[in-house]
Structure 1
Amino acid sequence: MMVPAALLLLGVLTALGAPRLLARTEWPDREPVVALWVWQCVVGAVLLCFALSMLLSASAAWQAVRGRLFAPAPHGVVEAYGLGAGGPWAAGTAVVLAAGALWTGKMLAGEVLRARSRRRQRRADLLVKAPLLPGEDPAGSRLVVLEAPRAGAWWLSGPAPRLVVTTAALRRLKGDQLNAVLAHEQGHAVARHDWLLHCSGALADGFPQVPVFEAFRSEVHRLVEMAADDAASRRYGRLTIALALVELNEDRGVFGPCGHPHHHVPQRVRRLLSAPARLPAVRRLRLTAAAALVPAVPLLVAFVPGLSALS
Structure 2
Amino acid sequence: MMVPAALLLLGALTAVLAPRVLARADFPDREPVVALWVWQCVVAAVLLCCALSMTLSAAAAWQAVRGHVFAPAPPTVVEAYAFGVSGPWAAVTAVALACAGVWSAVTLVREIARARARRGRQEAELRDRAPLLPGEESGPDGRLVVLESERPDAWWLPGAVPRLVVTTAALRRLKGRQLDAVLAHEQGHARARHDWLLHSSAALATALPQVPVFAGFRDEMHRLVELAADDTASRRHGRLTTALALVELNEDRGVFGPCPSTQAHVPQRVTRLLTPPRRLTPARRLRLTAAGALVPVIPVLVAFGPGLRALG
Which range, TM-score by smaller chain?
Answer: over 0.9
The separation in 1 between residues aligned to 2:2 and 2:133, in whole angstroms, is: 68
Work out the CA distance in 2 between the residues paired with 1:138 and 1:274.
40
1:11 aligns with 2:11: yes
Q: Secondary structure at the residue paired with 1:277? A: coil
Shift of 1:297: 0.5
Matched, 1:216 2:217: yes
Aligned twin of 2:268: 267
> 1:101-250 residue pairs with structure 2 within 5 A?
101-139=101-139, 142-250=143-251
Deviations 1:153-176 (A, max 9, x none): 000111111111111101110111
**Structure-2 separation of matches of 1:27 and 1:41:** 16
Moved more, 123-132 or 72-81: 123-132
Aligned to 1:299: 300
Aligned to 2:278: 277
Q: Which residue of 1 aligns with 2:50?
A: 50
> Structure 1 residue 65 and structure 2 residue 65: aligned?
yes
Residue identity opposite 2:89 in structure 1: W
1:6 maps to amino acid: A
1:25 corresponds in structure 2 to 25
Deviations 1:199-249 (A, max 9, x none): 000000111111100100000000000000101111100111100000000
The aligned amino acid for 1:65 is V
Q: Deviations over 1:162-204 (max 9, x none)?
A: 1111111011101111111111111001111000000000000
In structure 1, give the amino acid aligned to 2:160.
P
- Give the residue type in structure 1 aligned to 2:249: L
The more displaced of 131-140 and 152-161 is: 131-140
Identity %: 71
Q: How far 1:139 moved relative to its partner?
A: 3.5
TM-score under structure 2 normalisation? 0.98
Instruction: Note the residue ranges of structure 2 that are not aligned, 5 or more in a row.
Output: none
SS of alignment partner, residue 135 of structure 2:
coil
In 2, distance between residues paired with 1:67 and 1:131?
Answer: 60
Matched residue SS, 2:271: helix
Distance 1:221 1:83 in 2: 43
Q: State the SS of the aligned residue for 1:72.
A: coil
- Look up the equivalent residue of 2:155 and give its one-letter code: W
Aligned to 1:164, what secondary structure does the other structure show? strand
User: Bigger shift: 212-221 or 129-138?
Assistant: 129-138
AA matched with 1:288: T
CA-atom RMSD in angstroms: 0.9
Q: Tell me how far 1:138 sits from its aligned partner.
A: 3.4
Structure 1 residue 131 displacement after superposition: 1.8
Aligned equivalents of 2:290 and 2:187: distance in 1?
A: 27
> Aligned residue for 1:38?
38
Q: Which runs of 5+ in 1 are unaligned?
A: none
Residue identity matched to 2:16? L
What secondary structure, in the 3-state scheme, does the structure 2 residue paired with 1:276 have?
Answer: coil
> C-alpha distance in 2, partners of 1:187/1:138?
20
Deviation at 1:126, TM superposition (A): 0.9
* Structure 2 residue matching 1:144: 3-state secondary structure: strand
Secondary structure of the corresponding residue to residue 146 of structure 2? strand
> Deviation of residue 86 (structure 1)?
1.1
Separation in 1 of the partners of 2:143 and 2:179? Answer: 13
How far apart, in 2, do the equivalents of 1:255 and 1:84 lie? 64
Aligned partner of 1:85 in structure 2 is 85
2:303 maps to amino acid:
A
Equivalent-residue separation in structure 1 for 2:279 and 2:138 (angstroms): 41
CA–CA separation in structure 1 for the residues paired with 2:44 and 2:284:
22
Q: 2:49, 2:205 → 1: CA distance?
A: 18
